[in-house]
């Protein structure tokens, strides 16, 4: 963690190399987070690039170097949501026509499962679930990161888990 703090300090002083090392540390997590939201490789890679740009541009706004990972993930989530909103204005192809184009998903069973399960969650629920179970933050840390009361964070997590359980149960009923 001391190395990360040094990299943050150097990046805040204007070191491009330090920022690049710092960003590479979290690049895979940023990609995974973006992929959960946008559900395709091309858009997720665009979000990684946009996240790098915004993080580099705003590195001086990071007040506590201990939270650099969550700060960068928050930027990625914001970029993902912005892209989703922008794409809502785009007319989507009918699923029957998609076979002629092909898909970009390489790990189809896993991506279908994750995408379908998380699809029922709203943006706040999805973000909190990712922070809690994907990145391993505690309720208290999520509360600080998201600037939400601790009770609200717990409520959001439990409500999202209930939705996910119901979704899994419904899927199990259809498979039997």
The model's pLDDT over 63-99, given as tens digits with 9 standing for 90+, comes to 888 889 989 999 999 999 888 888 776 545 445 444 4
pLDDT recorded at residue 88: 72
Of residues 141, 7, 127, the one with CA closest to residue 75: 127
Helix, strand counts (H, E) of the chain: 9, 0
pLDDT in tens, 7-45: 999 999 999 999 999 999 999 999 999 998 888 899 999
**What domains can you pick out in the chain, each with its CATH number?**
1-104 (1.10.1740.10), 106-176 (1.10.10.10)
Cα radius of gyration rounded to whole Å, the chain: 18
**Structural tokens at position 30:** 């940023």
- Per-residue pLDDT averaged across 107-115, rounded? 51
pLDDT in tens, 117-155: 677 788 888 888 888 888 888 999 888 888 889 999 999
pLDDT recorded at residue 71: 93
Rounded distance, CA 157 to CA 121, Å? Answer: 11
Stronger pLDDT, 54 or 110, i.e. the higher one:
54
């Amino acid at each position: 963690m001391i190395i990360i703090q040094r990299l943050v300090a150097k990046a805040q002083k204007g070191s491009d190399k330090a920022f690049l090392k710092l960003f590479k540390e979290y690049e895979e997590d940023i990609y995974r987070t973006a992929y959960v939201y946008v559900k395709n490789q091309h858009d997720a890679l665009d979000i990684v690039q946009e996240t790098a740009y915004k993080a580099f541009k705003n590195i001086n706004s990071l007040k506590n170097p201990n939270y650099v990972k969550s700060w960068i993930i928050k930027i990625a989530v914001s970029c993902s949501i912005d892209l989703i909103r922008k794409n809502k204005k785009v007319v989507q192809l009918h699923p029957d026509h998609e076979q002629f184009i092909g898909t970009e998903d390489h790990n189809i069973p896993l991506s279908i499962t994750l995408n379908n399960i998380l699809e029922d969650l709203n943006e706040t629920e999805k973000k909190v679930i990712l922070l809690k179970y994907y990145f391993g933050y505690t309720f208290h840390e999520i509360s600080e990161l998201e600037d939400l009361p601790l009770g609200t964070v717990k409520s959001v997590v439990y409500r999202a888990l209930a939705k996910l359980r119901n979704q899994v149960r419904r899927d199990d009923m259809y498979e039997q």
